[in-house]
Amino acid sequence: MTTELSSDAVEGLLDRAREDYEALAARGLSLDLTRGKPAPAQLDLSDDLLSLPGGRYTAADGTDVRNYGGLQGLTELREIFADLLQMPVPQLLAAGNSSLELMHDCLVHALLSVAPGAESRWADQERIAFLCPVPGYDRHFALCERFGIDMIPVPMTDAGPDMDVVERLVAEDASVKGIWCVPKYSNPDGVCYSDGTVARLAAMETAAPDFRIFWDNAYAVHHLTDERVEIADLLGVSAAAGHPDRVFVFGSTSKITAAGAGVAFFGSSAANVQWLLANNAKRSIGPDKVNQLRHVLFLRDAEGVRAHMERQRALLEPKFAGVQRILEAELGGTGLATWTTPKGGYFVSLEVPDGCAKEVVRRAAAAGIVLTPAGATHPYGDDPRDAVIRIAPSYPSLEELEQAILGLTACVRVVGYERGVRQASVGS
Ligand SMILES: Cc1ncc(COP(=O)(O)O)c(C=O)c1O
């Protein structure tokens, strides 16, 4: 239930918010909530990696990991992650240190060489467009901008992208060649795609014969609650629906072991895997198998990964709980904001009244709290409602995080009341 506040009541709330904001600014803080990086304590959990593989340098099949070759990556590492990424081992590659790099390479290869099922190279086509569920991951959008790929925003629902919109757009326009999806604990709104969404993505008719789903499963094992959310196996469901080559699956250990010094994975149909391997063979003589062996020895098996992620959760959960507690205490029932309560992943998405996000971020920066730029969650940096702010709780200490979130709520209150928000919800 909502109630309309009187002008006097709003004036009083604004005065108090301004006092809080001025006190905040006077503290001379310097806090950074911009990127979803693991905190040093999370990286410490993988310290033992640094002394591995010790004196050992042979893989299970006798391969000398110090030498060239083995483009598919070590089988024993692929065996560990096949289960976690829902992928048959032969269709999973273990590659370099970054899944974003693999996404980049897949785009480049599709532009420059004919992908399975394609009639021509994407570079030879007049227009290429990708669907971009919003809010989404800014680096996906940056890749599209880099390669001149038009971006078409699609609204997110709490079960994944709005599939009515997706089905219509892919059916009517052959220049729509792909869609970005972060299917589990999505960046930034923590959404997990429902089985119904997966089934529709797998079965939908696309005008482009070479349509690809970039299935960026970056947070496959990054649970924050006892409920370890599982999503349906898009690759398997797509193959069963007659679209075996539709899906590119990506993942990495960036937020499992070491960010930037982990291992990235690519999974797809046999035809797509062969296509990527053939193209990658031109750019590298093989991945860093020493790092891959190190990961095998450290993580041991899928259960080892799950146990390690429980230790990650123990560090992250209090931070996410702190964010929820402060947002609820300061903004709950005010009508000034809504926010997500993710069950995993790295982000909380805060929605402020339309037209306020940029100003909130500006005020926060002026008080020493740096946030991801408003708009970064949308293609071309343009959030048409100017409402979404991404919060990345992982990197700062708990104390710094709590200061930053408290400061952020003061900014939301100042901007919201200045803009005349008068709706308060009662009984919430
Ligand atoms: C959705 C998503 N995909 C990919 C990445 C980057 O992954 P990697 O380190 O494997 O390149 C991130 C990092 O924040 C992410 O949020």
3-state SS of the chain? CEEECCHHHHHHHHHHHHHHHHHHHHCCCCEECCCCCCCHHHHHCCHHHHHCCCCCCECCCCCECCCCCCCCCCHHHHHHHHHHCCCCHHHEEECCCCHHHHHHHHHHHHHHCCCCCCCCCHHHCCCCEEEEEECCCHHHHHHHHHCCCEEEEEEEEECEECHHHHHHHHHHCCCEEEEEECCCCCCCCCCCCCHHHHHHHHHCCCCCCCCEEEEECCCCCCECCCCCCCCCCHHHHHHHCCCCCCEEEEEECCCCCCCCCCCEEEECCHHHHHHHHHHHCCCCCCCCHHHHHHHHHHHCCHHHHHHHHHHHHHHHHHHHHHHHHHHHHHHCCCCCCEECCCCECCCEEEECCCCCHHHHHHHHHHCCEECCCCCCCCHHHCCCCCCEEEECCCCCCHHHHHHHHHHHHHHHHHHHHHCCCCEEECCC
- The per-residue pLDDT for 424 is 61
Q: What is the pLDDT of residues 114-124, one digit of tens each?
A: 999 999 999 99
Q: In sequence order, what are the residues at sequence separation of 6 or more whose Cβ sits closer than 8 angstroms to the Cβ of residue 271?
A: 116, 244, 245
Q: What is the pLDDT of residue 388?
A: 97
Summarize the confidence of residues 29-43 as an average pLDDT: 92
Ligand 1 pocket: which of 254, 263, 295 to mutate (most atoms within 8 A of CB): 254
Both tokens assigned to 233: 């196996």
Average pLDDT over residues 72-80: 98
pLDDT tens digits, 129-160: 999 999 999 999 999 999 999 999 999 999 99
Does the pLDDT at position 263 exceed 90?
Answer: yes
Output the CA 186–ligand 1 centroid distance in Å: 11
Closest CA to 198 of 168, 231, 229: 231
pLDDT band at residue 29 under the 50/70/90 scheme: confident
pLDDT tens track for 98-119: 999 999 999 999 999 999 999 9
For atom 12 of ligand 1, the residue with the nearest CA is 218
Please give the C-alpha separations between residue 155 and each of 172, 214, 263, in angstroms, as whole numbers.
18, 17, 31
What is the Cβ-side half-sphere exposure of residue 6, based on CA atoms within 13 angstroms? 3
Q: What pLDDT, on a 0 to 100 scale, did the predictor assign at position 279?
A: 97
Mean pLDDT computed over 66-77: 97
**Given this model, what pLDDT does residue 35 score?**
79
If you average pLDDT over residues 1-11, what whole number do you get? 83
Q: Which of 102, 137, 255 to mutate to test the pocket of ligand 1 (most atoms within 8 A of CB)?
A: 137
Q: Give the confidence band of 1 by pLDDT, cuts at 50, 70, 90.
A: low
Distance 181 CA to ligand 1 centre (A): 12
Residue 67 pLDDT > 80, yes or no?
yes
Atom of ligand 1 nearest to the CA of 264: 10
Residues within a 6 A CB radius of ligand 1: 36, 98-100, 137, 182, 187, 216, 218, 252, 254, 259, 264
Confidence at 425, pLDDT banded by 50, 70, 90 = low
Alpha-carbon gap, residue 115 to 24, rounded angstroms: 54
Q: How far is the CA of 155 from the centre of ligand 1 (A)?
A: 21
Question: Residue 273: which of 109, 68, 128, 141 has the closest Cα?
Answer: 109
Whether 426 has a pLDDT exceeding 70, the answer reads: no
Residue in 188, 215, 216, 191 with CA at minimum distance from that of residue 373: 188
The residues spanned by each domain of the chain are: 2-33+306-425, 50-300
Pocket test for ligand 1, best of 81, 85, 93, 100 (most atoms within 8 A of CB): 100
Give long-range contacts, CB 8 A cutoff, 24+ apart: 14-23.
Answer: 14/413, 14/414, 14/417, 14/418, 16/413, 17/410, 17/413, 17/414, 17/417, 18/414, 20/410, 20/413, 20/414, 21/363, 21/367, 21/410, 21/411, 21/413, 21/414
The class level of CATH for 2-33+306-425 reads alpha beta
CA of 99 to the centre of ligand 1 (A): 7
Q: Is-above-0.85 flag for pTM?
A: yes
Is the pLDDT assigned to residue 420 strictly greater than 90?
Answer: no
Domain 50-300 of CATH type 3.30.590.10: no
For residue 371, what pLDDT is reported?
Answer: 95
Ligand 1 atom nearest the C-alpha of 260 is 9
Q: How far apart are CA 85 and CA 269, in angstroms?
A: 14
What is the distance in A from the centroid of ligand 1 to the CA of 184? 13
427 pLDDT more than 80: no
213 bridge partner residues:
179, 247
- Tokens (6 digits) for 378: 């949308």
pLDDT per position as a tens digit, 297-340: 999 999 999 999 999 999 999 999 999 999 999 999 999 999 99
Q: Read off the amino acid at residue 87.
A: M
Note the pLDDT of residue 423: 66
* Neighbour tally for 87: CB within 10 Å: 23
Task: Using the atom order of ligand 1, give the atom closest to the CA of residue 252.
Answer: 10
Task: Give the chain's mean pLDDT.
Answer: 95
Nearest atom of ligand 1 to the alpha carbon of 182: 1
Shortest CA distance to 131 belongs to which of 100, 187, 176? Answer: 176
